[in-house]
Amino acid sequence: MTGSYPASRYRVPVSAEEEVKGQAARRRTFAIISHPDAGKTTLTEKFLLYAGAVVEAGAVKARAGRRAARSDWMELEQQRGISVSSTVLQFDYRDHVINLLDTPGHRDFSEDTYRVLAAADAAVMVLDAAKGVEPQTRKLFEVCRSRNLPVLTFLNKLDRPGRDPLELLDEIQEQIGLDPAPITWPVGIPGDFRGVLDRRDGSMIRYERTARGTGEAGEQRLSAAEAAESLGELWAAAQESSALLDEVGASFDPKRFLAGESSPLFVGSALTNFGVRHLLDAVVDLAPGPSPARDSSGEQRPLDAPFSGFVFKVQANMNPAHRDHVAFVRVCSGHFERGMVLTHGPSGKPFATKYATSMFGSERNTVDDAWPGDVVGLVNASGLRVGDSLYESAPVAFPPIPTFAPELVASVHPRDLSRFKQFRKGLDQLEQEGVVQVLHRLGGDPNPVLAAVGQMQFEVFAHRMEHELGAAVELGVAQERTVRRTDAQTVPKLQEAGGVELLERRDGTVLAVFPSPYWLSRLENDHPDWTLEAIVNS
């Protein structure tokens, strides 16, 4: 980015501690959040293009260069044309190491996105300029707010007809609670997008289209006088809007950005590559690097402390030929070296790291070293679960990663009882990955109940059980339910009241499942002393 934001500098380390700090300063670990169809996957591809990680944008062209640009790998994702699982893309850009945590592109998998955001230091929020702030966007931003993540905003699809950008700024402020601070501003209207006004120096960047957006867009920087001569009224209108933004104080403030109060905003079109470089430069120049992580007691663990990290995602069968498990570990402190023996926090047992990889979509490369901010994939890590800590030297545990309150429940049975062993194994595996929650009724009923946030989670569960795990299932009709957490003292009272199903998680938490919010409301009013706690990111 050519502007008033100097890039971070990496100085030669003079000790092991200085090396950790220097390497951490080069890391940028962020997630992209958006409503489905806002352009997240396209933007991800274009980041890889501008970083030189692929020669041409698009999965087919990228494979010719021996790397897959797209992070979608599951068969069902390819059939539906959406992302239903998250993954990691690591690449270099401007002497920095970028860890892009790709997130699901469907609202039913927002719980997976929550887990990914636990491993991010910042987020890029992508908005469709024609649709503005949508329900999924609001929901995901609330997670960013709860985790104090700085957010950069990208107004996408300005190459198509859309809404007035000033109107969209008001909507961001009113519905999300962030003060947008535009750094680039459109020249021309949505659908007739000519370039951007760089509000840092008043110049214009004019773009040139490339065939199907497969290559970097040509950029020409014009002075204000040159832009006025070339574009006339369009440039004057952009300057007028920018002056209005100055009057209302919509200017970038680094402190407010890092505090989660303001969001630097960029405009463009990921499809045509307009504005992509500005946004990627902003990730390097503005987004924070790794900072000391707080452990479960609230103490900060210094970056140069001995190695520590936590599992934020577990995924099986990323490589169907090997049927392996990969645990994604966010490095919080210290220097990871492949082959080091760590301690598994929950069990206290040693854990070998011989098979450590970095990810590029479905492809993987052996990792010999990793530093704070990096994500390491540990292969054949079937003993690790989401939220588990790994450490060297002194024990450390990190705060639990949020889980969602289920909104749908459904019964499940194996289609073929002779495959019951595979059925049980599949239940354990997909619960471990977080595809669904597997619950059991109190009272000894052995038949499991599945719980999820959205219907598509059940579809993915059934698809993977049949095609990956060889245990086709029969799913009951998913029922909408209102779920609350309860305790041992309240359980017999709920059983006596009737109309409530009591289900237990693997960790022993008992959930009271109500057929409607009205029955819950009645019991809460009649029995305020009963424990019926809403499950909010617990």
Q: What is the mean pLDDT of the chain?
A: 87
Q: Where exactly are the structural domains of the chain?
A: 27-289, 294-391, 408-526
| 389 neighbors 345 (Cβ within 8 angstroms) | yes
Largest CA distance in the chain: 80
pTM: 0.84
Quick check: do 27-289 and 408-526 share a fold? no
Both structure tokens of 314: 């577990």
Residue 361 is labelled as binding a ligand: no
Both structure tokens of 521: 């409301």
Torsion of CA 235, 237, 243, 245, to 10 degrees: -110
Residue type, 158: L
| 380 neighbors 336 (Cβ within 8 angstroms) | no
Give the angle subtended at the CA of 110 by the CAs of 105 and 116, to the nearest 5°.
90
Residue 105 is labelled as binding a ligand: yes
Residue 103 is labelled as binding a ligand: yes
Q: Which CATH class is domain 27-289?
A: alpha beta
Residue 41 is labelled as binding a ligand: yes
Neighbouring-strand partners of residue 181 = 264
Residue 322 is labelled as binding a ligand: no
Chain-centroid distance, C-alpha 176: 18
Helices (H) and strands (E) in the chain, counts: 15, 31
Question: Domain 408-526: what homologous superfamily?
Answer: Peptide chain release factor 3, domain III (3.30.70.3280)
Beta strands 356-360 and 375-379, pairing class: antiparallel
Residue 38 is labelled as binding a ligand: yes
> Per-residue pLDDT averaged across 299-319, rounded?
89
Residue 158 is labelled as binding a ligand: yes
Residue 157 is labelled as binding a ligand: yes
Residue 37 is labelled as binding a ligand: yes
Please state, for a pLDDT cut of 70, what percent of the chain lies above it: 86
Judged against a pLDDT cut of 80, whether residue 180 lies above it is answered with yes
Judged against a pLDDT cut of 50, whether residue 253 lies above it is answered with yes
- 3-class secondary-structure state, position 81: coil
**pLDDT tens column, 128-168:** 999 999 887 887 788 788 788 999 999 999 999 999 999 99
Q: What is the DSSP string of 292-321?
A: PEE-TTS-EE-TTSSPEEEEEEEEE-SSTT
Give the CATH architecture of domain 294-391. Answer: 3-Layer(aba) Sandwich (3.40)
Using pLDDT thresholds of 50, 70 and 90, give the confidence band for residue 14: low
Using pLDDT thresholds of 50, 70 and 90, give the confidence band for residue 537: very low
